């Protein structure tokens, strides 16, 4: 990774450009926000997982926002975001996605060079797209009335050391419980549907669209709103390889200009935590066509929140990191001043506001 002085120099350069109010300072100059400048014909590889969490990237691609910046972007699907991390570190992938997990931080601590550059999903009030679900029969019988009643029960999470563990920890603390006061089992979100149906789990932190599917099947109920105890948790982020951020900075900025443009559009489409906002039909159609999920299934979910300016909540990342440390899952030190760089989104949003 770069030294701290170089990182600060980069950040300062972005900030100065943002104050100029010109999107094209990063893209090589020109008279309009869509002038390609030095980005013309630049090729960018970006990883996706073909899920609802890719909405911003899918919208930017389908609506030609990358093309407007002069970019030739290839969206490559991966089985999981975790598979993108080594490729980003090796410079074989320019843009990827990730979650604030112990695995991500351990990769960074072991000199995997990448940079967190944008919001890809947060938990905020009205956008609880990762609720704590509890088996319906346990609630109906009165066995589970409050969070405190989860003590000793089996709670599913997608994997050990993920951001959802920190979410669950906050929920348990609100009921006077510690993280280890429940039994933990690790089951992927799609498989939690069957796990609730066969009664092998009592509760789970479950993201969309699995959460809405489980509730619709009547095997579990939304029991705890995670946003009430952990507001503004950063659950997913966009990542740049360090080579892309530091050696191809102009192209990286052009990519972010398109990303933030799509983020504004998505935020309007899901304003208030429902799929009913401005331009929603077009957004839903794009996502439905790309990931193969019926439009009606998408609109029944609780949408994730992405800041219109795509700003990363670094404080949330630090909180989750501290939780992973307490759990003994962190194997090295991470410098968040080097890891998180909001300058790309700040510059893109500043230019958009001045256009």
Tokens of 2: 């770069």
Instruction: Report how far apart, in Å, the C-alpha atoms of 147 and of each of 28, 66, 176, 343 are.
Output: 55, 45, 8, 40
HSE (side-chain half, CA atoms, 13 Å) at 113:
15
**342 has a pLDDT exceeding 90:** yes
Question: Distance between CA 80 and CA 168 in Å, rounded?
Answer: 22
User: Are 167 and 233 within 8 A, CB to CB?
Assistant: yes
Instruction: Report how far apart, in Å, the C-alpha atoms of 232 and of each of 127, 253, 333 are.
Output: 10, 25, 24
Local structure of 317: helix, strand or coil: helix
Tens of pLDDT along 284-298?
999 999 999 999 999
Backbone φ and ψ for 292, nearest 5 degrees, come out as: 75, 20
Judge whether 4-122+232-288+306-354 and 132-228 match in fold: yes
Least confident stretch, 34-38, 47-51, 122-126, 241-245: 34-38
As a whole number, mean pLDDT of residues 111-139 equals: 96
The whole-number pLDDT of residue 7 equals 40
Tens of pLDDT along 69-93?
999 999 999 988 889 999 999 999 9
Question: Distance between CA 305 and CA 263 in Å, rounded?
Answer: 10
The topology under which CATH files domain 132-228 is D-Maltodextrin-Binding Protein; domain 2 (3.40.190)
The whole-number pLDDT of residue 352 equals 67
Angle between helices 4-19 and 343-354 (to 10 degrees): 0
The topology under which CATH files domain 4-122+232-288+306-354 is D-Maltodextrin-Binding Protein; domain 2 (3.40.190)
The whole-number pLDDT of residue 35 equals 43
What is the value of pTM for the model shown? 0.86
Model confidence band, residue 313 (pLDDT cutoffs 50, 70, 90)? very high
Spans of all domains in the chain: 4-122+232-288+306-354, 132-228
Instruction: State the Cα torsion 181-185-188-194 to the nearest 10°.
Output: -100
Model confidence band, residue 13 (pLDDT cutoffs 50, 70, 90)? very low
Model confidence band, residue 99 (pLDDT cutoffs 50, 70, 90)? confident
Instruction: Report how far apart, in Å, the C-alpha atoms of 286 and of each of 32, 143, 295 are.
Output: 26, 43, 9
């Amino acid at each position: 990774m770069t030294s701290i002085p170089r990182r600060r120099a980069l950040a300062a350069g972005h900030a100065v450009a943002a104050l100029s109010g010109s999107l094209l300072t990063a893209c090589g100059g020109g008279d309009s926000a869509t002038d390609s400048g030095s980005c013309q014909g630049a090729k960018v590889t970006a990883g996706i997982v073909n899920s609802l969490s890719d909405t911003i990237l899918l919208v930017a691609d389908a609506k030609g926002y990358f093309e407007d910046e002069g970019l030739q972007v290839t969206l490559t699907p991966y089985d999981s975001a975790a598979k993108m991390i080594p490729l980003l570190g090796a410079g074989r992938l320019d843009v990827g996605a990730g979650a604030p997990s112990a695995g991500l931080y351990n990769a960074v601590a072991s000199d995997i060079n990448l940079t967190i550059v944008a919001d890809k999903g947060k938990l905020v009030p009205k956008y609880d797209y990762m609720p704590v679900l509890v088996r319906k029969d346990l609630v109906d019988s009165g066995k589970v009335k409050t969070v405190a009643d989860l003590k000793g029960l089996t709670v599913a999470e997608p994997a050990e050391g993920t951001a959802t563990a920190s979410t669950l920890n906050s929920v348990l603390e609100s009921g006077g419980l510690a993280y280890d006061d429940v039994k933990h089992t690790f089951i992927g979100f799609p498989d939690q549907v069957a796990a609730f149906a066969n009664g092998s789990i009592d509760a789970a932190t479950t993201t969309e669209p699995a959460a809405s599917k489980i509730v619709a099947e009547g095997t579990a109920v939304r029991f705890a709103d995670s946003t009430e105890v952990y507001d503004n948790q950063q659950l997913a982020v966009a990542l740049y390889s360090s080579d892309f951020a530091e050696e191809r900075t102009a192209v990286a900025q052009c990519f972010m200009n398109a990303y933030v443009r799509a983020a504004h559009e998505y935020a309007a489409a899901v304003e208030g935590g429902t799929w009913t906002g401005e331009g929603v039909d077009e957004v839903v159609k794009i996502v439905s066509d790309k990931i193969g999920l019926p439009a009606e299934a998408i609109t029944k979910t609780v949408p994730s929140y992405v800041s219109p300016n795509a700003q990363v909540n670094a404080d949330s990342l630090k909180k989750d990191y501290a939780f992973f440390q307490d759990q003994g899952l962190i194997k090295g030190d991470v410098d968040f001043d080097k890891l998180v760089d909001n300058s790309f989104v700040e510059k893109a949003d500043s230019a958009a506001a001045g256009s």
